[in-house]
Amino acid sequence: MSTTATFKVLGICGSLRQKSFNMAALKAAGELMPAGLKLEITGIGDLPMYNADIQEKGFPAVATRLREEILAADALLFASPENNWSVSACLKNAIDWMSRFQVQPFQNKPAAVFSATGGPVGGARGQYDLRRMLSGLGVVWLARPEVFIGNAASKFAEGKLTDETTRKFLTEQMLAFEDWIKRMKRAFG
């Protein structure tokens, strides 16, 4: 594989809020990525709440669409808020749906995560829960650098990530992510 190959990164945001800091940070990460990565952001807000009765009648088209997007992506980038010390309900719901596919799409998928919260901790507890649950489904995580964006209200303005230090952290994470994707592609194809 040539060093200039562009890897398709699927962005998944765990907040549905229109003025979400996590979505703003995800868009910033897309701009700060090295040339070898290209971000496409998907939506998870239209998935119904997981219910085995719905699944029995057939997977909803939105779940099948998300699975296909994950399968087609070289890697996944999660922007995760922290709700009550854990993963947001919509993100957990999306993971529950994906986990029910027999050939499920997370297996051996390289992924990175950052989190943004209003409080000072920056979502560490939610981020580690996300890492734990997706490790169980076969995701291969970029371990470092970790990025926690605390006190988010002071770091964004008009829907943009304006804090230079945070932009630098994200830039460094995206560089490491590119290297990680290359390594995982060599390992798993």
Output the DSSP codes for 134-159: HHTTT-EE--SS-EEE-SGGGTEETT
Three-class SS of 88-111 = CHHHHHHHHHHHCCCCCCCCCCEE
Q: Is 44 near ligand FMN (CB under 6 A)?
A: no
Three-class SS of 46-72 = CCCCCCHHHHHCCCCHHHHHHHHHHHH
Nearer to ligand FMN, 90 or 184 (CB): 90
Q: Is 154 near ligand FMN (CB under 6 A)?
A: no
Q: Is 82 near ligand FMN (CB under 6 A)?
A: yes
Cβ 129 to ligand FMN shortest distance, Å = 11
Element at 176 (helix H, strand E): helix 164-188
The contact mask relative to ligand FMN for 97-136 (x = CB under 6 A, - = no) is -------------------xxxx-x-x-------------
Q: Is 81 near ligand FMN (CB under 6 A)?
A: yes
Q: Is 80 near ligand FMN (CB under 6 A)?
A: no
Residue carrying structure tokens 């290209």 = 38
Binding site for ligand FMN (CB under 6 A): 15, 17, 20-22, 81-85, 116-119, 121, 123, 152
